[in-house]
Amino acid sequence: MYSINLKIIFYYILFLYLTVTFVNASDVDQNYEIENVISAQLEAFKAKDIYQAYSFASPHIKRRYPSPEIFDKMVRASFNDIWDSKQYLFKNMNQIDDVTYQEVLVFSQSDVATDYLYSLSKYNGKWLITGVSPYKRRDLDI
């Protein structure tokens, strides 16, 4: 009887280990996919490929800006440092329901750093950008 309990405990521990490993692996895959989408759009803007940059916009964004040219004008006017970024750094990521939020520190050509909060959702199995806004993290003193 003692050996059966050890065997059950061993299998339970193995099951927990594998469950945690697979959950963490799926989180890593999702983080990688999200960072790739944002990176691809930022690189498309750098290359001045507005059609490629537009391809990462969600249907909601595309309804609001119905052509790559209109989208490009909006980005240049409102997010010039994103449109012509020098470099960028991924920070915190958080998921709430079916929306993932990614903080990105963007450096302009003149080395001004701005934090942006990207929101992304899946459409037909593909992550697309649903919004971008300047972001100031508030540190709470507790």
pLDDT value, residue 134: 94
pTM (predicted TM-score): 0.76
**3-state DSSP assignment of residue 132:** strand
pLDDT value, residue 29: 74
Q: What is the full per-residue pLDDT of the chain (142 aa) written as tens digits?
A: 555 556 665 555 545 455 554 444 445 577 889 999 999 999 999 999 999 999 999 999 999 999 999 999 999 999 999 999 999 999 999 999 999 999 999 999 999 999 999 999 999 999 999 999 998 866 544 4
- H/E stretch holding 106 reads strand 99-107
**CB contact set of 45 (below 8 Å; sequence gap of 6+):** 53, 75, 82, 83, 84, 85
| 50, amino acid identity | I
Distance CA 15, CA 10 (A): 9
